[in-house]
Structure 1
Amino acid sequence: MSQASVRPGGAGAAGQAPTGPVRTVLAPILLGLAVVLLWQGAVTLLAIKPFILPGPLAIADQFGANLQNVADGMLATGRNALVGLLIGTVLGVLLAVLAALVRLLDEMAAPIVAAIAVVPIVALAPVLYTMYGAGAETARQFVAALAVFVPVYFNTLKGLRQVRPVHRDLMRSYAATSWQATRTVTLPTALPFVFTGLRIASSLAVISALIAEYFGGPVGGLGKSITSSASSSNYGLAWAYVLGGVLLGLLFYSAALIVEKLVSRRSGG
């Protein structure tokens, strides 16, 4: 009597828990819902005052009632964050490539980039508003670009140093120039590190642009709206603008992740 073979992924796999994209998406959604329910329950049962922490229902009510204002604030902050993200990414990648090619430049740039990494936004933003004028968005974009530049530079530089010596020797045997070796071997190897820095920087761009709005500049943006709402004791509305900032940060992060997937797929990664 012949025995039926059981193959992995057949009928026995039907009872397994879902994996892949379904599990990846479902798990954080369920966790988020649990956190929101616990939050609302704590606010209700403990009678927490709105000026300490409003409940999710109150925030959602204000978010829906002021949807257009929140959307306008997200657009203003997102525009500055996007400009800063693009400028910081381009400068970070270019400087990292040059530093990887020229050791002297690498040694000179390291302390400068380390110093940039610890510059406080609360001290830098007022100075930039004085330099560029309170009516310009330049200061906010500059702050966002500065926050983006650091993680992109360090991650790109680390990726550029991951090339194995045998691959460098092979390019030398083909008499390839430094730029040819960088373009065909070094940059493809560094690509995952570049996108790691970009994913980190995408959220930092939004946070930096939002924080810079607290210290002056044109009216508009989520930071200004949060400050105005809190100062008028409308804490539910202030948190509604905070929710807008969270959604904007998630949008930027998701966009960076999608770009990474598309580029990896095209490059065969």
Structure 2
Amino acid sequence: MSLARRLEVVLAPVVLGVVALVLWQTAVVVLELRPFVVPSPTSIAAELTQNASFIAAAAVSTALNALVGLVVGVVAALLAAAVSAAVRTLDEMSAPLAAAAAVVPIVALAPVLYTMFGANVQTARIAVAAIVSFVPVYVNTLRGLRTVAPVHRDLLRAYAATRRQATTTVTLPGALPFVFSGLRVASSLAVISALVAEYFGGPVDGLGKAITSAVSSSNYPLAWAYVVGAVVIGLVFFCATAGVERLALHRRTPR
């Protein structure tokens, strides 16, 4: 990629973001919108500056829960998909469970997990993030493991390749893009689920609790400042996932 193209890729979203903020600020001033409707970007920026340490601490707490839950969910999903791909009966048995896990609402799941694990630990929030992360990775990985082209399978049989050789040379490389497709979705869902789970109990930390506290005291710019912290976490997770995907796919691409 040329330097000009790289600058275009970087500057285009920055310019769009600046334009959006200017339009937002203008709309708030011209329409005289009240803070409880939508605060101005300048007031949110002021709260960000004044409460940077508190926002950072809450963001770190939420990010750690989301990260641990994401790792647990992804590892469990990869193992389950590998076993289901090897044993079709398990695949058929687990399909209803995966579908059920995909539609369980966090608002119903979080209070139950707080009752099970206790409201003074982070376990319930991590469990919510893990369950939500499990489904997209499991479904996409299983699909990737099932999509080996018949011509490739026949070619390996013709060369008397072992099952292990077929798995490492064809099945796993072919499934890798599907794995990362699921991982991209799961990384965002982990942050969202960990944040939402904080609304329903648990230790008094994290962005979810902070947003609730700010709204209850009618400090809407501060609440939006905490929302900005959540957006930053989501962007970090997305960029990290994209970076790992690019590195993995680049390494397996022949030169």
Unaligned runs of 5+ in 2: none
| Aligned-pair CA distance for 1:104 | 0.9
Higher relative helix content: 2
Aligned identity (percent) is: 60
Which protein shows a greater Rg? Answer: 1
Q: Secondary structure at the match of 1:33?
A: helix
Correspondence list, 1:69-218, <5 A: 69-218=54-203
Moved more, 134-143 or 175-184: 175-184
Aligned residue in 2 for 1:230: 215
- Per-residue CA distance 1:176-232 (angstroms, 9 max, x = gap): 444442232111111111111111111111110000000000111000000001001
CA–CA distance in structure 2, aligned partners of residues 196 and 26 of structure 1: 26
CA–CA distance in structure 1, aligned partners of residues 238 and 104 of structure 2: 23
Does residue 35 in structure 1 map to residue 27 in structure 2?
no
CA–CA distance in structure 2, aligned partners of residues 160 and 22 of structure 1: 38
Q: TM-score, normalised by structure 2?
A: 0.94
Aligned residue in 2 for 1:7: none
| Aligned-pair CA distance for 1:33 | 1.5
**CA shift in 2, pair 1:24/1:184, >3 Å:** same
1:240 alignment partner AA: A
Q: TM-score, normalised by structure 1?
A: 0.90
Q: List structure 1 segments (4+ residues) > 6 angstroms apart after TM superposition.
A: none
CA–CA distance in structure 2, aligned partners of residues 74 and 61 of structure 1: 18
CA–CA distance in structure 2, aligned partners of residues 175 and 109 of structure 1: 32
Query: Number of residues paired by the alignment?
Result: 253
CA–CA distance in structure 2, aligned partners of residues 27 and 161 of structure 1: 39
